[in-house]
Structure formats: structure tokens, C-alpha cells
Structure 1
Amino acid sequence: MIRYLRLIKFSHTIFSLPFAAVGFLFALDSGYKLPTWLTALWILLALIAARTAAMAFNRWTDYRIDAKNPRTQQREIPAGIIKPAQALMLAVISSAIFILLAALINELCLWLSPLALLVILGYSYTKRFTSLAHLVLGIGLGIAPAATFIAVTGTFDAGLLFLCFGVMLWTAGFDIIYALQDIEFDRSEKLHSIPAAIGYKKSMWLSAAFHAISMTLMFAFWLYIYGNSIVLAGVILFSIMLIYQHIDVHMHGLKKINLAFGTMNGVAALVYGTAYLIAFLLN
């Protein structure tokens, strides 16, 4: 069991789950009825199934590439801990469970579930033909708050686009930073990424631009939800952490990238989600 949790990087669920929770709570804030505990469970399990499918499929599609890259050779499939067929089977089963759970939640979720799978599974192939792969990954995380809102309401609120695009650009920004580690490898293997295409310095500037727009969109979403001061505090802390990671990587270079990618972004997401939860409970 532990080896499969490592395969799918279960701890990285912290990147998407807080924003999914915000979408859920925003639906309740908008006057929609609290779903039954069973429906809430289906929603949580659907999120886990979707992420499991995406990560297992990514590890399966990339295992030959991972075996060549010194940074990724110790991942479960290249290291021989999990067989490629096992990872693929996990992705297939998780995808089927996701669609089943979507059907149990509501009809709109069922109809949208194949589109969601197309995005989160299709991302794994994007580095083979476009440097915009970082944005596709961002879309995969950015749809999380919209998905939970739709799961609760059976409809959509256009104001959520501020948050969805904010999450998308936040994700794309930190993924660009993470990809700096593989510039030379990606170029040698003819894999596409923004760092491989435009180099280290320009990539850092583009990542900073994405994060600046992301912070602006988070602020716009705060205005859209009538400006709760606790949520504003969450937006400010989220923004400070994004700025700090850029300063940290600028000062320390590649050796700080894992900290920027993992710890800082995970904490930033958790802080924002917690702020929204506190505001919801107090109101």
C-alpha cells in the first residue's frame, strides 16, 4: 500500500484539496443546501480517485523517460518497485471509480467527468509536443473548486473563474520553477518545457508574472465574495508565500527548488483554504 501512495505522491493532494474545499464552501455560502454526508463522501472520494488516476497514468506514460533522468530514476516504476502494468491498471480502475462517483453525485458531474479525465490524463503527453504543458497541469488543478461547486449545486457560478484561473496560474508558475531542474535533460531528450525553450532567467520572470496575475485573481475573487477580512488575510499570506519562494530560489538557486515546489506551495494552499474555512464557520 505504501509503495502505491508513494507512486501517486499522495502527500501532494495538499495542492488541490484546499481549493476544492473552497469551491464546496462557496456553494454553501451562495445559499445552496448542504449535501448529505453520503454525497459529501462521494465528492471527496471522487477527488481522490481523479488525482490517483492522473498520477498513476503520468508515472506509466513517463516511466521510460524517468529511467533516463538521474533525478527520477528512483521513482517506483524505474526502480522496479511497481510494474508498469500495475500503474496503468491503477489509473484505469481509478478513472472508472471517478466516473461512477460522478454519476452518483449528479447528472452534470457525470457528463463533465470524461472532460475532466481528458485534461488530467492528457497532461501526461503534453511535454512531448508543447511547452505549454505547465498550463495544462494548471488547468487540472484549477478545475478543482469548480468541480466541487458543481457537485454541490448542479450548476456553475462565473465568479469562480477568478479562483479557477488563479489556481491555474499559481500551479503553472511553480511547475515552471520545478522544471528548471531538467533544462538540459529536456533539451537532450527533445521534451518540451518553458525552461527548455527560453532558459533559466526568462523562465523565472515568466513564473513571477504568472504568480503576480494569480495573486490579482485571488484578490478579485475576494472582492467577488464581498470582501471578508479573514479571507483577505488568507489571500495576503498566500501572496507573501509566493513572493518568498521566488526570492528564495533567486538567492539560493536550484538547491532550493524542492522547498519552493513542495513545502511553500503546499503551505500556501493550506493557509488559503483554512482562512476560507474559518470565515465560513464564523459567518
Structure 2
Amino acid sequence: MERPAASSLPDAVRGHWADRWAPVGLRPYLRLARIERPIGWWLLLLPCWWSTALAALAKGQPWPDPLHCVLFLIGAVAMRGAGCTYNDIVDRDLDIRVERTRQRPLPSGQVSLKGALAFLGLQALIGLLVLLQFNGFAIATGFGSLGVVALYPFMKRFFWMPQIVLGLAFSWGALMGWAAVFDSLSLAPVLLYFASVAWVVGYDTIYALQDIEDDEIAGIKSSARFFGERVKMGVGLCYVLTIALMAAAFRQADVGIVSFIGLGIFALHLGWQVTRLDRSDGAGALRLFRSNRDAGLILFAAMIVDALI
């Protein structure tokens, strides 16, 4: 019989289909992949879509390649799930010491270590099959992310800003979309990549505010703890850097005015997050964190319109 306490984790989407309709035996594995928390794969997907749209604008195409967008969607869901599974395997002893994570499938005993490893392999295989649909340069670029992905779960043990390493991993799609179109890289996608890294550090600092007290007890390091009482300033600086680097990427790719208007709206949204940030409000931090999906989609939509006109 399923454990009631583990039926839904604190930051999961309430009433998600994975908790309501999926077979009971499959539910712990879906939670291991964070299927009931879709914000993660959205945030992994958005840099891929931005990069695809930026490449379309630079190449004079009327819209981003639809097939590439679909492949990136499938790949983002699979690889985000694989990354979370790997992270939980590495962190299983730490997770049991943090209130928000102790009911995850591994520390709570819903999934065995052997089962988690097999599930990790299945998700990685799906990601590989998606990657192999691209050109050789994009495939090689994709494999280049594996080192930083493997490193991330260990960083919180000794590095005060593990979010930087998360950003390096989560932003890799900002290189992939361009590589898939041009079979090469240039300054524009590199600038977009580092803009996305700064964005990830900002929004994941907000996310880490939910765990700041437990992290202090468990000795887990995070940018939220590092910034402390100056967390608003820290997040604000990350977001300023995001906009500056993204504007430079747009100029390098010679995008149109609509993309810059979208970037302006994106910047306003990030600024709004900073003004609403309250270090003591974990629930509010989760809402602000999730709002980054909408901000990113607005920017992507503006880039599509720019390509169309």
C-alpha cells in the first residue's frame, strides 16, 4: 500500500495526473523524474527554444525549426528526469535530513537503489535517441554537457554557489539550438548561454529560500545561504547580468525590434520578482520561481513574432 505522506511532495503541482491517474506502482518513478513538477523541464527547455529562435533570426528563417522544437521538448523532459534521478541517487543520504526532500522516493524507501539506476538508464537512452537526430556537431556539443551534469550534485557539499554549476548544466540548450541549425557555434549563442547561466543562478537562489533553515542544519551550501540578508541584491545582480548578456546576444545575431521588446518585458518580469522577494516566505519564493516559465515563454513568443515579420 502506498504511503500517504509520500503521495505528494510539498513543491509538487496539486492534483497532477501523475499522482491521480498513473498506476500506483509507477508513481514513485514518476516522482523520481519530477513529472509532477513540470517547471523543471520547462526551465531546461526554454534556453533550447531561445537558441533555436535566435538561430532562425540570424539565418533569416520565418520561424524556428518545428522538428527541432519538438525534439528539444522530448529531450528536456527525459534529461531533466534523468538528472533528477541521478541527483537523488547521489543525495539520498542528504535528502532524508531536509524536510522538503525526505519523502522523495529514494530516502523514503519507495524506490530501491537498483530500481533508480535502471530508471536512470532508461531516461538517458531516450535522451540519447533524441540527441542522435541532430547533426554531428550538435551531437558532440550535447555530449559536452555530461561532465558538468555529473559534477553538480556534489557541489552543494563544499561550494557556496552550487547554483553556478547548475546554471552551466541547465543552460546547455542555449548552445544546442544554434548548433543544430548552423552546425557550429559563434559568439551569439555563447552570450545567450552565459545569460541563461545568470538567469538560472537568480531563479534557483529564489527556489533555495524554501530550504534555507534545513540546509543550515544539514550543512548544505547554497547561494541563498551565501547571499543571506542581501538575497534581493544577489538575485537582482544575476538578473541584470542576464539582461545585459542577452541584449548583447541579440545584437550579435542582428535580431529585430520585436525581440528587444520581448526582452524588455522579460526584464520587467525579472525586476518584479526581485521586488516581491521575501527571504522568510518559502511559499512565495516557490511562486516566484515558477513564474520564470511564463517570463521565458513571453521572450520566446516575441522571438517567433520577430522571425515571422
Query: Under TM normalisation by the shorter chain, which class is it?
Result: 0.7 to 0.9
Query: Does 2:123 correspond to 1:94?
Result: yes
* Consecutive unaligned residues in structure 1, runs of 5 or more: none
Q: Distance in 2 between matches of 1:31 and 1:199?
A: 41
Q: 1:124-143 maps to which residues of 2 (within 5 A)?
A: 124-143=153-172
The answer for the alignment partner of 2:295 in structure 1 is: 268
More helix by share: 1
Mapped partners of 2:116, 2:295: distance in 1: 30
The match for 2:75 is 46
Match of 1:61 in 2: 90
Q: What is aligned with 1:156?
A: 185
- Look up the equivalent residue of 1:234 and give its one-letter code: G
- How many pairs does the alignment contain? 280
Between the aligned partners of 2:254 and 2:220, the Cα distance in structure 1 is: 44
The residue aligned with 2:52 is 24
* Structure 2 residue aligned with 1:182: 211
Give the distance between the partners of 2:273 and 2:42, measured in 1 at CA: 17
Contact 2:206 2:286 in 1 (8 A): no
- Whether 1:116 and 2:120 are equivalent positions in the alignment is no
Amino acid of the structure 2 residue aligned with 1:83: S
Distance change >3 Å, CA 67–CA 213, structure 1 → 2:
same
* Offset at residue 214 of structure 1 (A): 0.8
TM-score after normalising by structure 2: 0.80
> What SS does the aligned partner of 1:159 have?
helix
Q: Which amino acid aligns with 2:237?
A: A
After superposition, the C-alpha distances for 1:231-277 in whole angstroms (9 at most, x for unaligned) are 12211121111111111123973341111111x21111111112112
CA change 1:35–1:165 in 2 (3 A) is: closer
- Larger CA deviation: 46-55 vs 162-171: 46-55
Deviations 1:49-71 (A, max 9, x none): 32222121112222222222112
Deviation at 1:41, TM superposition (A): 5.2
1:192 is aligned to 2:230: no
Opposite residue 277 of structure 2, the aligned amino acid is: V
TM-score (norm 1): 0.86
Cα RMSD after superposing both structures: 2.7
1:44 to partner: Cα distance: 4.3
Does 45-54 or 16-25 show the bigger shift? 45-54
1:9 corresponding residue in structure 2: 34
Unaligned ranges ≥5, structure 2: 1-17
Summarize the Cα distance change of 1:135–1:42 in structure 2 as closer, same or farther, 3 Å threshold: same
86, 107, 116: which one aligns with 1:78: 107
Rounded Cα–Cα distance in structure 2 between residues aligned with 1:252 and 1:180? 8
Q: Cα distance 1:7–1:274, how it changes in 2: closer, same or farther (>3 A)?
A: farther
Q: Distance in 1 between matches of 2:227 and 2:253?
A: 39
Contact 2:43/2:293, CA 8 A, preserved across alignment: yes
